[in-house]
Amino acid sequence: MAVFEIESNGLIESTVIYYNGQQIIGIKEIFLNLDEDGTFDSIIKYAGKDGNIHTKNIFSDYLHELQTSEPSMTEEESENLRPLTIESDGSIESTVVAIDDFEQDGIINLFVHIVAPDVKEKSGFNPFKKKEEYTSSSLVKFVAEVTFRNEDDSQSSEKVF
């Protein structure tokens, strides 16, 4: 069973991704769509150690050439992030979803779509530019929502981060 975790406060620059306990970097896109009807989409697109872009199923493919790093946030910084953890072997029946380290019951749908921006290559020194420049083709997306079935059979949705 693989364990995939996203820790975030809803801002892409404050998002950290873990795969089987190791922080991974070079992520281009994450797409998760799990629902009670059996839908189980779990796609990751990443820049590998080999310099190539890889698109894989998080829970059923071998994530080769995955780049890892030492933790990029301190424990203090991590306290301000909310963890979403998914443990699975690739089948919806054996999948466990935890938010804030508590296993969640009654999930109808979990939808996460994160697209990282493309960073523009720096062409020279500019002492007035403090932030990274993004290419005009950058599509930054950060959606993370969960829908629950309540005890009275009604539904409620909330943002994960």
How many Å apart are CA 49 and CA 53, to the nearest integer? Answer: 9
Ramachandran sector of residue 10 (left: φ over 0; alpha: ψ -120 to 50; beta: rest): left
Q: What pLDDT is stored for residue 117 in this prediction?
A: 79
Tell me the average confidence (pLDDT) per consecutive run of 10 residues in the chain, 161 residues long.
Answer: 95 93 96 95 96 96 94 86 96 94 94 83 42 53 94 95 93
Q: What pLDDT is stored for residue 140 in this prediction?
A: 78
Q: What pLDDT is stored for residue 138 in this prediction?
A: 56
Please report, as a single letter, which amino acid is at residue 108.
I
How many Å apart are CA 159 and CA 145, to the nearest integer? Answer: 4
Cα–Cα–Cα angle for 59, 56, 121, nearest 5°? 130
Q: pTM score, two decimals?
A: 0.85
Which of helix, strand or coil describes residue 95?
Answer: coil
Q: 44 exposed, middle or buried (CB, 10 Å; 0-12, 13-18, 19+)? A: buried
Q: What pLDDT is stored for residue 26 in this prediction?
A: 95
Residue ranges of alpha helices (H) inside 28-98 are: 75-78
Q: What pLDDT is stored for residue 71 in this prediction?
A: 86
Ramachandran sector of residue 136 (left: φ over 0; alpha: ψ -120 to 50; beta: rest): alpha
The string of pLDDT tens digits covering residues 30-58 is: 999 999 999 999 999 999 999 999 999 99
